[in-house]
Amino acid sequence: MGLDRDDEIVRRRIAQKVQFLREDLAIPAEPTETELRRFFEARKLRYAQPPRTTFRHLYFSPDAGGAATARTRAEAALARLGGGAAPDSLGADPFPDRETYVALSRDEAARVFGRSPLAQGLEQAPPGRWSGPFRSGYGWHLVRVEARYPGALNAFAEAREQVRSDFLAEAQAAANAKALADMKARYAVERRDGARP
C-alpha cells in the first residue's frame, strides 16, 4: 500500500518504533561512584537549593471592576495597612489557592502566580512589612515577607539519587544520538522538496 512512503503518521510511527528498539539495546551501564562524583562536580549548580521565601499575600481581583480598579483597591489597602489597619479588615478578595506560602522558590512562585512581577519580586520585597501592589496572572497582590532562606549548594550525598538519574539519562541520550548517527551513515538521505537533509 506504500503507507511508509505516503502516510506521514505511519512514517513517524515506524521511526518511533526503530528509536524504541534502539533504546532497548543501548541501556547504559550502572555508573561508578567516581563517575557520579565527577558528574556532580561538573554540574554542581544544577543541584543547588534556590533561595526561598515565606510570605503572606492579600489578593485584589480584576473580575469586578477591571485591572485598574483592582490596583487602586490594592494601593488604598496598602495605605491603610501603613496606618495600622488589620489585614482582614481591608476587603481583599478570596484567592483560589492559599493566603500564606512557606519556603517558595522563584520557580515555584512562577508555577503558582505565572511569570509575573509578583513571582519575580518576592526576593526583593522588604521583609516584615506589607509591600506592593504586585501584578500576577490573577490580579494584584500585597505581600508581606515573613522569612527568607538563602540558596545553598547541596552535598553530593543529598543529591546522589538525582545525580544518578541525570547521569543515566545523559548516557542514554548520548548512546541514542550515536546509534542514530551510525544508522544515518549507512543510508543516503533524500528529501522530496530538494532541500539538503
Same domain, 140 and 58: yes
Tell me if 194 is assigned to some domain: no
Instruction: Look up residue 48 and give its DSSP letter.
Output: P
Could you tell me the CATH number of the domain that includes residue 82? 3.10.50.40
Backbone angles phi, psi at 145, to 5 degrees: -75, 125
CA nearest neighbour of 99 among 67, 144, 63, 139 = 144
Q: What type of residue sits at position 24?
A: D
pTM, two decimal places = 0.63
Return per-residue pLDDT of the chain as tens, 197 residues.
666 667 778 778 877 777 776 665 667 889 999 999 999 999 988 998 889 999 999 999 999 899 999 999 999 999 999 999 999 999 999 999 999 999 999 999 999 999 999 999 898 899 999 999 999 999 999 999 999 998 888 889 989 999 999 999 898 888 877 877 777 788 876 777 666 55
How far is CA 21 from each of CA 17, 101, 104, 153, rounded to the nearest angstrom? Answer: 6, 46, 41, 39
Residues 12 and 68 in one domain: no
Identify whether residues 126 and 56 lie together within a single domain. Answer: yes
64 shares its domain with 138: yes
Amino acid 170 reads E
- Structural domains of the chain, count: 2
Q: Which domain holds residue 175?
A: 3-46+156-185
